[in-house]
Structure 1
Amino acid sequence: MKLNNFKINSKNKKVATTSSRQCLGISITDKSINMVLLNARSLNQFRLEKYVVVPLPKNIIGNGNVENHEELVAHLQQANQKLRSSCRNITVAISQRQAFIQFLDRDEDTEYTEEEQVMAELSQYDSLDDVSYDYQSVSINGQGKENLLLVNSKRDDVNILMDAYTDAGITPTQMDVDLLAVINSAITWINIRQPELTNKCIAVFNIDYSETQAIIMCHGKLLYKQEINLGYEHLMQSLRRSYQLTEEEAWDMLYSPSKPEDYNSTVAQPFQQQFIQEIQRVLQFYFTSASQENEIEEILIFGYGNNSANGFTESIRQQTRIPAQQINPVLLAELGDGIEPAKLQQDSSLLTVAFGLAVRGL
């Protein structure tokens, strides 16, 4: 799913050109700045040239909003210097909390142009100067109806984010929504690893710091989305309570390959069972509120490390009767020189959005 030109503020936007098939994806969460530099070897074949994860202290980003501009700029500069890349093809994300995503149906013989239909949808705003938007035709169904993907956000929200990048010396060439980047990652993984799922209905759960993005998609189209109030923060709090750790110590333990002997029974399994209950709620909401006839064929879990996760997907399958897999899509890529496989395995659960952004820009 690829938007051609999310219309960012023209005073900040400079169209960059690249001599190679490279793209840098940058995602900013409440907890970290994540950068992924991909090189497209061929269709659906990628090389992970470099990546960085720079932790963010509290009160810099909150629920997708920039709360401390100067500190964010400083950490973006730190991440950029650590990456040491000259790539100018850069895709960045805006939080789904700051964007509105919708799919519009178009009849083949309609008298209205795509632009006219989009303008009608955006007429709720007092002025188009107040909104950043983009749209793209994504599919035509068996009845001859075209499907338009429309994304829009308040221009002020886009400008605040773009100002931080500009002050950090980074010039994005395109902007996408983090939710669509997750979908990009899912589509890329399906195309490469399980093409038989291409036209199936898939449920994707991307675990983030304080929440999980739940997505139900079919043919690459978003059918249903929901935010679940369950993420890494809940695991960290459980670690802190169980082992009397500071937040930093709990974060380190969460991503360490070695954990206490009772970690599975004390921390991992209770979290997994709570997560499965949330999966069941999402599926129930989807089938009762969306009036969908599509049966969900597969559940994909992104952003949850494989360490101490024995039996997690089997428990999901038993309790939902739907096959499930744990996936970190960035691991699809061939590794560049200097990337340590063990370190990437440890960090990979944080890189799903940045990977999807980089794919979007190739």
Structure 2
Amino acid sequence: MFDFFKDHAPPLIGVDISSTTVKMVELADDGKGAYRLERYAIAPLPRDAVVDGNIASLEHVSETIRRAWKLMGTREKNIALALPAAAVISKKVNMLAGLSEMEMELQVEAEANQYIPFSLDEVNIDFQILDTVPNNPQNVEVLIAASKKERIEDRIAVAEEAGLKAVVMDVETYATEAAYSLAASQLPNAGSDQTVMIVDVGAQMMHINVLHDNQSVYTREQPFGGNQLTQEVIRRYGLSPEEAEIAKRKGGLPDNYDAEVLQPFVQSLAMEIARAAQLFTNSTQFGIDHIMLAGGCASIAGADEAVGARTQLHTVTANPFANIALAKHINATQLAADAPSLMIACGLAMRRFDA
């Protein structure tokens, strides 16, 4: 039952399976106690291979993973995967410090019985000790995470079908937070004593994670993403979904695309983020100091400026690799464009270095 988190992972690759792509990141030690980006790859998924975070086509997803792994040019076959936050029930509880592992497992199981709405036989549960409870050193804060076994087994199956071995199963939210620890170098004082709203805009969903003093205090998802831009390209220019995705990435659309299609989408994106920021500030005691854009849509030229103008908040585009060493073969210009969409894969790759 207790196999959701792992304290230490062997050398591995972080693999992010989104609704439109498979992204891989491999990190290494630069010899000075810091990270080096060794290699990365992004491979597009066939349409509807992954739907609402669920793997709908094992064959297509495993083939895409295999293709991305070959693009990486690595020999490493151990990988870390993540589940969407919506597929995981998580809860933080306080427990007495100094409990044995067996005593803690029994208490975790008792806690899980109270808040998991289905039989424990149907789920995988694990826990991780976070820290001593402030003002109460006799207690520790423990994160409990649970997910239905079938969600985990589907991801393990596509990895195995691709010839790889899943040795870590994480949660996308936690992987993003891990990568943020690198991307925070883009912010004043690395985000310490400040409130940062990370907005990961994918194809279908906008994932919001607000950190105060580098600790998560708020998460939310809302339906908005790059698919809306894709659908408008399809409607306006008569392209297939596959052609529209390629045209978005590589160009070749008519001259009116930027003014009549892309910029209205960017403004809609900025408005959605402004609403999310307002909702957060209205429902908590925090104000927002910075917004960090991640996900594929964050790479759209001018998106950060539009969000900053709409929200009147300092806005940056996430780049967890901005201040780490790069292997010689990596194209820094291309990486800067790809980096916002690699946050989850980067955070998963960091599990290699967990103590």
TM-score (norm 2): 0.84
Q: How does 1:65-80 map to 2 (within 5 A)?
A: 65-80=54-69
Are the counterparts in 1 of residues 317 and 340 from structure 2 also a CA contact under 8 Å? no
Check if 1:298 corresponds to 2:298: no
Q: Which runs of 5+ in 2 are unaligned?
A: none
Q: Which residue is equivalent to 2:224?
A: 230
**Deviation (angstroms), 1:233:** 0.9
Give the Cα separation in 1 of the matches to 2:214 and 2:169.
19
Are the counterparts in 1 of residues 308 and 315 from structure 2 also a CA contact under 8 Å? yes
Q: Which residue is equivalent to 1:11?
A: none
**Deviation (angstroms), 1:192:** 7.0
Change (3 A) 1:244 1:5: same
Q: Which residue is equivalent to 1:12?
A: none
Return the match for 1:308 from 301, 315, 318. Answer: 301
Give the Cα separation in 1 of the matches to 2:265 and 2:33.
34
Q: How does 1:1-362 map to 2 (within 5 A)?
A: 6=4, 17-18=10-11, 23-41=12-30, 45-106=34-95, 114-124=104-114, 127-140=119-132, 142-144=134-136, 146-191=140-185, 194-256=188-250, 261-289=255-283, 292-303=284-295, 304-309=297-302, 312-362=303-353
Are the counterparts in 2 of residues 132 and 152 from structure 1 also a CA contact under 8 Å? yes
Change (3 A) 1:218 1:102: farther
Q: Percent identity?
A: 24
Number of paired residues? 345
Give the Cα separation in 2 of the matches to 1:336 and 1:230.
35
1:119-142 C-alpha deviation (Å, 9 max, x unpaired): 222114565432212222223454
Q: Which runs of 5+ in 1 are unaligned?
A: 9-14
**Deviation (angstroms), 1:170:** 0.8
**Deviation (angstroms), 1:280:** 2.7
Give the Cα separation in 2 of the matches to 1:37 and 1:268.
32
- Quote the RMSD (CA, aligned, Å): 3.1
Give the Cα separation in 2 of the matches to 1:108 and 1:127.
28
1:262-317 C-alpha deviation (Å, 9 max, x unpaired): 4442223222221222223223333444xx322222111112354531xx434433
**Deviation (angstroms), 1:239:** 2.6
Give the Cα separation in 2 of the matches to 1:300 and 1:16.
28
**One-letter amino acid of the structure 2 residue matched with residue 90 of structure 1:** I
Are the counterparts in 1 of residues 299 and 338 from structure 2 also a CA contact under 8 Å? no
Change (3 A) 1:195 1:174: farther
Are the counterparts in 1 of residues 40 and 72 from structure 2 also a CA contact under 8 Å? yes
TM-score (norm 1): 0.83
**Deviation (angstroms), 1:7:** 5.6
**One-letter amino acid of the structure 2 residue matched with residue 293 of structure 1:** Q
Give the Cα separation in 2 of the matches to 1:250 and 1:231.
15
Give the Cα separation in 1 of the matches to 2:305 and 2:46.
36
Are the counterparts in 2 of residues 44 and 191 from structure 1 also a CA contact under 8 Å? no
What secondary structure, in the 3-state scheme, does the structure 1 residue paired with 2:182 have?
A: helix
1:73-120 C-alpha deviation (Å, 9 max, x unpaired): 23222222332322244211122221122222457799x964444222
